[in-house]
Amino acid sequence: MVSRPFSCTGIQSYKRKNTFPAHPAQKFTTHHPARYPTIANLRTSKLSLPPTTPNQTTTSIAIHNLPTTTMASQNLCITVFARGTPTLDRMTPSMIAAEIHALLGNDDPYQLSTFTLRPLSPTVTEILIPHPSAHTLDLTALRTSPVITAKEAELGVELCFQHDTPYRRHKRLVVFDMDSTLINQEVIDELAAFIGVQKEVAEITERAMNGELDFEASLRARVGLLKGLSNDVWEQLKKEKITFAAGAREVTKVLRKLGCKLAVLSGGFLPLANWVKGELGLDYAFANQLVADPETGLLTGTLEGFIVHAQKKAELLEEIAKEHDIDLKMSVAVGDGANDLVMMAKAGLGVAVNAKVKVQREAPVRVNPLGGKGLQEILYLMGLSDVDIEELLRD
């Protein structure tokens, strides 16, 4: 069963405090200002509704007409996440849709068309907005616009922008970072705690993940501090320290049911990455390999094999896609650190989850889940509803 979408059309007044009728179709006022800002003016344009009193009718912004033949392939998709409130006010997505549609501009602002709202959960709604050049819109400019940022803060929402194509809804390859993404810990910091160098290692890790230090150089410096640690520490870590991120088991189970190939591409270490692969039923695990002295069983403070840095993650994504004849547009890359940005840019959908400041700013899409669903929120970006997810989670 798939959530039923409803469309917003025509010209009709609504009051800001009105509620939606039981029927899924709802109409809204569209009153046309003389001019509308274009995407080129996005960074300086205002995006707001006029102030109202409780009994004053709100005037929304025009929604422009498109030929029906272009509707399916030329939509802008906005996934709206409620943040800081237990549910998403059903009026809010409609206001966002009308205002962003006006913000994008049109040569004929007096023509009206249909945008579609599809609730995916009590806290998430998908908006499809027709636009004559939706497939060429600069989503980075849109996402990073101060206008959009201000609107998110005002309404207590998080907005994720995508081109609405079949590739958005049909993914075949999903790759994950491991530390602070699939699991809650930074493994190298946990290893450092065993030999009393946690503070020194944590400081380097934080700077590396924020993109302040070269990843490979910082990794080798941190690994050098682990010299003398027993190589049997991995079992202790699994039992006492490592916990999976909220939603990790659920999202991987759903993606497996959908037939996706799954991989962990980690700047951490292979013994733990292989364990995560087994626990979550992933197809691939790539990570860095620490060297242990064969006689003493102690780490030497060095690495062997290739280093899984930012560029290597992107290369591995491409290699896995090529092996299974998967178009990169049908891939997803998920992470939280600066060394995940290259693979995010390479994938059809790059998602930063609870990410570092630099990554929040630069990732194609970012989500900051509140509550227990965690990584499961990625599935909303693919158009799956709670009903869909529940069905796929059934054994």
Of the pLDDT bands very low, low, confident and very high (cuts 50, 70, 90), residue 62 is very low
Side by side, which strands form the sheet with 284-292?
A: 299-304, 284-292, 261-269, 173-176, 331-335, 349-353, 365-367
Residue 24 has pLDDT above 80, yes or no: no
SS3 string, 302-318, reads EEECCCCCHHHHHHHHH
Of the pLDDT bands very low, low, confident and very high (cuts 50, 70, 90), residue 372 is confident
**3 state DSSP class of 15:** strand
Among 69-73, 140-144, 250-254, the range of highest mean pLDDT: 250-254
Q: Do residues 372 and 246 make contact, with C-beta atoms less than 8 angstroms apart? A: yes
250: alpha, beta or left? (left if phi > 0; alpha if psi -120 to 50): alpha
Residue 357 has pLDDT above 60, yes or no: yes
Q: DSSP class of residue 4?
A: P
Residue 107 has pLDDT above 90, yes or no: no
Q: DSSP class of residue 279?
A: H
211: alpha, beta or left? (left if phi > 0; alpha if psi -120 to 50): left
CA distance 362 to 317: 19
Q: Which of 89, 107, 164, 179 is catalytic?
A: 179
Residue identified by tokens 């005037």 is 59
CA distance 246 to 97: 30
Which pLDDT tens digit goes with each residue over 262-286? 999 999 999 999 999 999 999 999 9
pLDDT for 113 equals 55
Average pLDDT, the chain: 81
pLDDT for 42 equals 38
Which pLDDT tens digit goes with each residue over 152-183? 999 999 999 999 999 999 999 999 999 999 99
Side by side, which strands form the sheet with 115-121?
A: 6-8, 115-121, 124-130, 75-82, 157-164
Q: Which residue has the higher pLDDT, 315 or 138?
A: 315
**What's the one-letter identity of residue 18?**
N
Active site residue 388: no
Residue 368 has pLDDT above 50, yes or no: yes
Q: Do residues 209 and 296 make contact, with C-beta atoms less than 8 angstroms apart? A: no
The full set of domains in the chain, from first to last, is: 6-164 (no CATH), 173-393 (3.40.50.1000)
Q: Find, among 221, 215, 218, 383, the residue nearest to 314 by Cα.
A: 215
Q: Mean pLDDT over residues 343-368, rounded? A: 95
Q: Which residue has the higher pLDDT, 53 or 280?
A: 280
Q: Which of 89, 107, 177, 232 is catalytic?
A: 177
Picking from 251-255, 288-292, 309-313, 355-359, which range would have the lowest pLDDT averaged per residue? Answer: 355-359
Picking from 37-41, 154-158, 339-343, 356-360, which range would have the lowest pLDDT averaged per residue? Answer: 37-41
SS3 string, 41-103, reads HCCCCCCCCCCCCCCCEECCCCCCCCCHHHCCCCEEEEEEEECCCCCCCCHHHHHHHHHHHHH
DSSP per position, 177-204:
-TBTTTBSS-HHHHHHHHTT-HHHHHHH
Which pLDDT tens digit goes with each residue over 205-245? 788 777 788 888 899 999 999 999 999 999 999 999 999 99
Nearest 5°: the CA angle 369, 375, 379 is 100
Q: Which residue has the higher pLDDT, 22 or 224?
A: 224
Q: Which residue has the higher pLDDT, 20 or 322?
A: 322
Alpha carbon distance, N-terminus to C-terminus of the chain: 17
Q: Do residues 273 and 287 make contact, with C-beta atoms less than 8 angstroms apart? A: yes
Per cent of the chain over pLDDT 90 is 59
pLDDT for 103 equals 77
Q: Mean pLDDT over residues 173-202, rounded? A: 94
CA distance 209 to 337: 5
Is this structure's pTM higher than 0.85? no
Of the pLDDT bands very low, low, confident and very high (cuts 50, 70, 90), residue 187 is very high
Q: At what angle do helices 187-194 and 215-224 cross, to 10 degrees?
A: 20
Q: Do residues 47 and 150 make contact, with C-beta atoms less than 8 angstroms apart? A: yes
Residue 127 has pLDDT above 80, yes or no: yes
User: Tokens for 311?
Assistant: 């560029």
Active site residue 108: no
CA distance 381 to 379: 5
DSSP per position, 252-272:
HHHHHHTT-EEEEEEEEEHHH
Residue 369 has pLDDT above 50, yes or no: yes
Picking from 76-90, 91-105, 220-234, 275-289, which range would have the lowest pLDDT averaged per residue? Answer: 91-105
